[in-house]
Amino acid sequence: MNKLAKSKVYRRVYKISSGKTKARPIKRLETKIVDAIRSSAGEDAVRLAGLMTRQGNVSEFEIVRSTRLDIQTVRNTLYKLHSSNLADYKRVKDNKEGIYVSYWTLNKATAKELFAKLQKEKLQRFRERLEAETSNANCYFICPSACTRADFTMAEQQRFRCDECGKLMMQDDNTRTIDFLREKVREMEAVA
């Protein structure tokens, strides 16, 4: 089995009729879409998006039947997707029933753009945290029970006592945190 098939990001394991499992490479775009949908609208939205991808224009009633969620949850989730421009819909009047039915479609191009935007924001937050950690190297204090962590000025205001448990705070060596953040920034810059 090659590296691509072993990778968790690039594979989807499915059962074959013989009972064996086989790794099948999936497109990187699918992972990006799922991450963008999950971060903007939640886990239920991933289920709905999977259904919209498979069937194309899907009515909200078909989504309710397929996912077994209540109509309010489905509509709320679909509106979250729509507010993030991840889903489009059209309303059609049903002549038999006399009601309006919305047909929903997933907007994959916007999902890819949203994923890139979220990654940039995440990278920026990591850079800001790295800057704060390096500028205040060894100036952090932590509770022995790991209740709270504070910089020098905050710890001084608290008289070096934990707000949660009242124990005396100890100086925190943040070199491992700095190394971790540098590695994360490097990883994200390599992907971007």
pLDDT, tens only, 125-176? 999 999 988 988 888 899 998 889 988 889 899 999 998 888 999 998 888 9
Asked if residues 89 and 78 have their Cβ atoms less than 8 Å apart, the reply is yes
Q: What percent of the chain has pLDDT over 90?
A: 26
pLDDT of residue 4: 40
AA letter at 21: T
Q: What percent of the chain has pLDDT over 70?
A: 84
Does 11 score more than 80 pLDDT? no
User: Per-residue confidence at 179, pLDDT binned at 50, 70, 90?
Assistant: very high
Does 107 score more than 70 pLDDT? yes
CB under 8 A, 24+ apart: contacts of 63-70 = 63/104, 69/44
Contacts of 108 (CB under 8 A, 6+ apart): 29, 33, 53
Kindly report the average pLDDT of the chain as a whole number. 80
Of residues 29, 32, 33, 37, the one with CA closest to residue 81: 37
